[in-house]
Chains A and B, each alone.
Chain A
Amino acid sequence: MFKRLFDWLRQPLGLIAVGIVLLTVFSLAAYGIFLTQQSSAQPIQFPHRTHVGFGIQCLYCHPGAARGPSAGIPSQAKCWGCHQQIAKTQTSALLAPLKQAVESGTPIQWVPVAMVPDFVQFNHRAHVAAGQNCEDCHGDMTLVTIAENPQVFNMGWCLDCHRKAAGEDEAKLLKLADCGTCHY
């Protein structure tokens, strides 16, 4: 039984069949990997590169980072403050959703990119106050068009930096490596 199958596979037609199967599996896998590398579909293709390039501070649009746990995403009112005076706003297809959102008063539904699971409590304020730069965790935003996550926010990554930050300070290490600091 198995020998018959094996013999059939060894003739040219069989080899082609095997080749086709392998090719299909390989291209499906490649496509799957390609999909995971795509940045999420955002309602507006917001280019960080251009805006940060103009010298707009991160904290102008994400002021929560200096004040509290979450950095926040700017509302369309903040975008409109600049964009209603920019001629391109009336013509650019990229900006049409923004115009529409302002006119209809419906909030823009951004897709979250940088996030930790629900059971982790992260706090931007403590990090910004301790002098951590946005780039340390979010990468260089002047290079990206649509925000993406340059690194996985896993526990080893958090603890690695916390160990370094604590240095020789035992009490600080206790605090920064304590499960209750991040999980509750």
Chain B
Amino acid sequence: MNSKIPEIKLSEEQTGKWGMVIDQDICTGCQACVAACAMENNLSFVGEVDAGYGRSMHWIRIERFWEGEYPEVKMTPGQPMMCQQCGSAPCEPVCPAFATVHSQAEQLNLQVYNRCVGTRYCANNCPYQVRSFNWRDYVRPEPLPNQLNPDVTVRRMGVMEKCTFCIQRIHKAEDKAKSEGRELTDGEFTTACAQACPANAITFGRIDQPESLVSQLIRKHGHGVKHLEELGTLPSVTYFKGG
């Protein structure tokens, strides 16, 4: 019986498995991804009081910045920002409860809700500010509970949460492929945000397979940006702008 847990590989060697490519030039900032994500992943609606305290919960948000000096200011294109599923994630080593761990099998950053005790160290250490905390048990008035996704845990008060790259969809697709005795094909499934994007600005797939659509896009554009790459976080999301 093999009971040893394999050693965690050094971050420099990690390549990542799942990745995303976001084309900011065609993003209109319509927020369809934000809504789709909230529906798919059972996000709570915090209401205006808590939102006023900056406690709104989103796993993905559209960032826009002002560029240049007045009066020559212009707005940058929409920049969907979600968990970058870092290969060397700053959130992971600071968790005192080991609730945010790296999935060796899927190469994702996990948030194990039932393990989380709510210290919020991870959110404070996340350079992308993409984690949200359940400050309360937010009520879902009837009939909203009927639209909860049964494949995703409903989080409770005192638990941190963040984008999972729709891991439930990954598992479902992998399970379907396995039941049909074949390998998972590229583009067979996608995340909720990518599916909802009317402009197809978000593409999801395997970045470790050279023939997948995301890998092809990265090669084709050739000038992709990974945000805050200089911190050594090894993010899995590539952004294109001004192409």
Q: Please tell me which one of the listed residues B1, B2, B113, B179 contacts residue A170 in the complex, with CB atoms under 8 A apart.
A: B2
List the B side residues contacting A169 at CB < 8 Å. Answer: 2
Q: Contact between B178 and A129 (Cβ–Cβ < 8 Å)?
A: yes
* Structural contact, B1 and A183, CB atoms closer than 8 A: no
Chain A residues with CB under 8 Å of B105's CB are: 171, 174-175, 178, 180-181
A168 at the interface (CB under 8 A from B): yes
Q: SS class of chain B's interface: helix, strand, loop or mixed?
A: loop
Q: Closest chain B residue to A164 by CB distance?
A: B1
Separation of A171 and B114 alpha carbons in the complex (Å): 25
Q: B103, A168: Cβ atoms under 8 Å?
A: no
A-B contact count (CB 8 A): 67
B-chain residues with CB within 8 Å of residue A170 when the two chains form the complex: 2, 6
Within 8 A of A (CB), among B22-76: none
Chain B contacts with A in 139-173, Cβ cutoff 8 A: 151-154, 164, 167-168, 171
A183 with B153: CB separation less than 8 A:
yes
Query: What's the Cα separation between A114 and B104 when bound, in Å?
Result: 30
Q: Which B-chain residue is minimally distant from A126 (CB atoms)? A: B175
- In the complex, whether A121 has a CB less than 8 A from a CB of chain B is yes
Residue of A nearest to B154 (CB): A118
- CB pair B179 A121 closer than 8 Å: no
Q: Is the CB of A180 within 8 A of B108?
A: yes
Chain A residues in 8 Å Cβ range of B152 = 184
A179 and B167 contact, Cβ closer than 8 Å, known pairs A118-B154, A123-B175: no
Q: Which residues of B contact A171 (CB under 8 A)?
A: 105
Number of interface residues of B (CB under 8 A): 27
Q: Is B217 an interface residue (CB 8 A)?
A: no
* A184 lies within 8 A of B153 (CB): yes
Interface centre among B105, B113, B167 (most CB of A within 10 A): B105
Q: Is the CB of B1 within 8 A of A163?
A: yes
- When the two chains form their complex, are residues A126 and B178 in contact, meaning their CB atoms are under 8 A apart? yes
Judge whether B2 and A168 touch: CB under 8 Å.
yes
Decide yes or no whether B101 CB sits under 8 A from chain A: yes
Residues of chain A in range 118-172 having any CB-CB distance to chain B below 8 Å: 118-119, 121, 123, 125-126, 129, 163-164, 166-171
Contacting residues, chain A, for B151 (C-beta < 8 A)? 121
- Also in contact, A119 and B103, with CB within 8 A (given A129-B179, A179-B110, A183-B112): no
Cβ contacts under 8 Å, A121 to chain B: 151, 168, 171
Give per-residue flags for B111-153: 1 if the beta carbon is below 8 A from chain A beta carbons, else 0. 0111100000000000000000000000000000000000111
- Residue B5 lies at the interface, judged by CB distance under 8 Å to chain A: yes
Q: Tell me the nearest residue of chain B to A118, going by C-beta.
A: B153
Tell me whether B106 is interfacial, beta carbon within 8 Å: yes
- The answer to whether A184 and B175 have CB atoms under 8 Å apart is no
Determine if A173 is an interface residue (Cβ-Cβ < 8 Å): yes
- Known pairs A121-B171, A167-B2, A170-B2; A178 contacts B106 (CB<8 A): yes
Across-interface contacts of A123 in B (CB, < 8 A): 171, 175
CB distance from A116 to the nearest CB of B (A): 11
Q: Do B175 and A174 touch across chains, with their CB atoms under 8 A apart? A: no
Interface centre among A123, A178, A180 (most CB of B within 10 A): A180
**A residues bordering B, Cβ < 8 Å?**
67, 117-119, 121, 123, 125-126, 129, 163-164, 166-171, 173-175, 177-181, 183-184
Given contacts A123-B175, A178-B105, could you give 9 more A-B pairs where the C-beta distance is less than 8 Å? Answer: A119-B114, A121-B151, A129-B179, A168-B2, A173-B2, A173-B6, A177-B5, A179-B103, A184-B152
CB<8 Å pairs between A and B, sample of 26: A67-B179, A117-B114, A118-B154, A119-B113, A119-B153, A121-B168, A123-B175, A125-B179, A126-B175, A126-B178, A129-B179, A163-B1, A166-B2, A167-B2, A170-B2, A173-B2, A174-B6, A180-B108, A181-B105, A181-B171, A183-B110, A183-B113, A183-B115, A184-B153, A184-B164, A184-B171
